[in-house]
Amino acid sequence: MEIGVRLTVVPNQGEADMICAMLRANGITCAERAANPAIPSMTGFGGWHEILVPDDQLNAARDLLKLSDS
């Protein structure tokens, strides 16, 4: 599902799943996709992934990521 703009890029599928779960739990639509399937992840767990959100939810998603980094 292609749904908008890139929020962030993470190094593996597990981290992408965790971020999308947090976003969805807070009412933000989210999708993820392989950022560059030709470049393997250093962790060996699925490679880099982009987290995508709708343009109109981008600021809320950024704020939520900032809170989770604290």
Determine phi and psi for 41, rounding to 5 degrees: -75, 150
Q: Following DSSP, what letter does each residue of 52-63 receive, concatenated?
A: EE-GGGHHHHHH
Q: What pTM did the predictor assign?
A: 0.81
Short-list 55, 70, 64, CA closest to 21:
64
Residue-wise pLDDT for 27-63, tens only, equals 999 999 988 766 555 555 568 999 999 999 999 999 9
Q: What angle do CA 25, 9, 58 make, to 5 degrees?
A: 50
* Ordered structural domains, the chain, with CATH: 5-69 (3.30.70.1530)
3 — pLDDT class (breaks 50, 70, 90): confident
